[in-house]
Structure 1
Amino acid sequence: MTRPIIGVSGGYHLINDAYRVQATGERNLSAVAHAAGGLPLIIPGMPDSVSPAEILDSIDGLFLTGGRPNVHPSRYGHEPSAAHEPYDEGRDDIVLPLIRGAVEIGMPVFGVCRGIQEIAVALGGTLHPEVRDLPGKMNHRMPPGEKDMAVIFRKRHKVRLTPGGWFARTLGTEEIVTNSLHGQAVVDPGPNLEVEGVSEDGVIEAIRVPGARGLAIGVQWHAEYEAEADPVSAMLFSKFGEAAKTWRHSRAA
């Protein structure tokens, strides 16, 4: 097998109010397969059935997807609230230690939307469950009730990239325009992350783990949407895929 195996975080869903499943969006799988050149493998948020150590032994890269449930506030020292449900603590139990383990051994990590939030929490940062409630912040959520994917994922605001940072160097620009479909956001990245992109209202949009031996990045937008057609997304997934290939070859050697 030549393609690197990319673990793609799944999450809990209830179908027809009765049938429990672990799933992820097809766009996530397609982005990993085609834009990153990897073999996508869904990671279930089921700590009673899989362990982070077993997963790390089986994959060459970790892709952290978006998702409706917020990271549980207890994971970063805050009190939970019914107003900010649902939560998916099974996913938290699997993904947070996976991130720490992957960063420690140098395995590539790429997180989008909830994924950037998980990276922050796993490495000591904190979140706000509804960033639009903070002074001076705009509404980063998608239009309520919208079903048209082109409208939902429309590019909505600019992101300023740190001059000379990894994102600016990789993308060849210091400003991009992104989609925006989130309520929760990183407010304190903690001591282990470097912020490399912020939106027009100062919301953290792009981070990197500077101490990681491998590529470890996160973005607040949904880069998996049109991952092959959008130049920014295509470049990010390409770099992630290259890093996963390098990891696979080094492990085999």
Structure 2
Amino acid sequence: MTHSIPLIGIPADVKDVKGMPFHCVGEKYINAVAHGSQGFPFIIPALAEGEQLQAVDSAVDLREVLSKLDGLFLPGSVANVDPARYGAELETPDLPRDLQRDETTLQLIHLAIEMDIPILAVCRGFQELNVAFGGTLHQQVQEVEGYFDHREDSTLDTAGQYQMAHDMHLTPGGLLAKLAGAEVTQVNSIHGQGIDRLADGLFVEARAPDGLIEAFRLDDESRFVLGVQWHPEWQFAQTPFYAAIFKAFGDAIRQRM
């Protein structure tokens, strides 16, 4: 079967809504994928064993799903990657987690890499990508000496929380520097976790002023596998650099098609 519009998979979070689990994806991500990358968003439920969902042979199912898709977008989330996934103990018991999403996305990443499917990952997705390749995370960046607090100001409204928060230094000659047309730009900052040890096979594309890794790509320029810590989906059409990221993702998908 062939199609002209790229089908781009977006894995869902599992959220509690009035005591019932719902599989959800934020509209801002769907909008950016649909209009920024010019693809049709295909929501992938977190088909892993959960409170009300029995275990499934998701490795086989997900391979079949991915065979029908042209790209994979990993969105952000309030939930964090379970520290057990990178061999660490939970530092704080109230860390929001989503074990079903972990089980689903980590399999999706490995399969997408194997199948040469372009990947764009944002925030939690960026962290998942690093973990899938064997890297580790800081669970509370603000508690790590040398780093500043990268979390949003919760006293502000949504627009205020997503406003530009700090400079970002782009690696000269890197993909993002080419897309931005500069080596320094500004980004929003809405995260508590961050990269501790970058996995082998990943190339640093950008850092915050405190040195925290803000973006990386697969160390193989012939393939599009890009992760960013900030939220370029937020009002992407009004920010040329953000729009360029989603366009580049869409272009890579169409080239593969």
TM superposition score category, shorter chain reference: over 0.9
Letter in 2 for 1:166: L
Distance 1:222 1:230 in 2: 11
- String of CA shifts for 1:44-66, please: whole Å, max 9, x gaps: 11224553212211211000000
**Contact 2:179–2:241, Cα closer than 8 Å, also in 1:** no
Deviation at 1:13, TM superposition (A): 0.5
Assess if the C-alpha contact under 8 Å between 1:5 and 1:60 holds in 2: yes
SS of equivalent to 2:236: coil
Distance 1:182 1:126 in 2: 16
Hey, what does 2:162 align to over in structure 1?
Answer: 153
Q: Secondary structure at the match of 1:86?
A: coil
**Which residue number corresponds to residue 240 of structure 1?**
249
Paired amino acid for 1:44 = P
Could you give the per-residue CA deviations for residues 181-223 of structure 1, whole angstroms, max 9, x where no partner exists? 0000111112111111000111110100113752000100001
Bigger Cα displacement from structure 2, 73-82 vs 129-138: 73-82
Question: The residue matched to 1:32 in structure 2 has which SS?
Answer: helix
SS at match of 2:226: strand
Structure 2 distance, partners of 1:21, 1:213, is 37
For normalisation by structure 1, the TM-score amounts to 0.93
| Partner residue of 2:213 out of 204, 213, 238 | 204
1:138 corresponds to 2:148: yes
TM-score normalised to structure 2 length: 0.91
Amino acid at match of 1:151: G
Residue pairs, 1:154-173, within 5 angstroms: 154-173=163-182
* 1:80-159 matched pairs, under 5 angstroms: 80-146=90-156, 148-159=157-168
Given candidates 223, 226, 231, the residue that maps to 2:232 is 223
Instruction: Check 1:45–1:75 CA distance in 2 against 1; reply closer, same or farther (3 A cut).
Output: same
* 1:75 aligns with one of 80, 85, 98: 85
Aligned twin of 1:28:
29
Deviation, structure 1 residue 6:
0.4
Question: Match for residue 192 of structure 1?
Answer: 201
What is the identity, as a one-letter code, of the residue corresponding to 1:12?
A: V
Name 1:2's counterpart in structure 2: 4
SS for the counterpart of 2:46 is: coil
Q: Secondary structure, in 3 states, of the residue corresponding to 1:83?
A: coil
The Cα offsets for residues 83-112 of structure 1, whole Å up to 9 and x where unpaired, read as 352211111111112112212222100001
CA distance in 1, matches of 2:10, 2:119: 10
The aligned amino acid for 1:2 is S
Q: Does 1:42 align with 2:13?
A: no
> Is the 1:11–1:22 contact (alpha carbons within 8 Å) kept by the matching residues of 2?
yes
Look up the SS of the partner of 2:100 in the other structure.
helix
Once residues 128 and 63 of structure 1 are traced to their aligned partners in structure 2, the CA distance between those partners, rounded to angstroms, is 23
Distance in 2 between residues matched to 1:83 and 1:157, nearest whole Å: 30
* 1:149-205 residue CA offsets vs partner (Å, 9 max, x unmatched): 210100000110011112112321111100000000111112111111000111110
Task: Confirm or deny: 8 A CA contact 1:162 1:196 kept in the other structure.
Answer: yes
Tell me if structure 1 keeps the 8 A contact 2:29–2:233: yes
CA contact (8 A) 1:84 1:129 kept: no
Structure 2: give runs of 5+ residues left out of the alignment: 49-54
- Unpaired runs of 5+ residues, structure 1, are none
Q: d(CA) in 2 for partners of 1:62 and 1:115?
A: 10
Q: Partners in 1 of 2:237 and 2:70 — Cα distance?
A: 21
Q: How many residues align?
A: 246
Is the alpha carbon distance of 1:57 and 1:21 closer, same or farther for their aligned partners in structure 2, counting shifts above 3 Å? same
Taking the aligned partners of 1:83 and 1:197, their CA distance within structure 2 comes to 31
What CA distance in whole angstroms lies between the structure 2 residues aligned with 1:196 and 1:86? Answer: 28
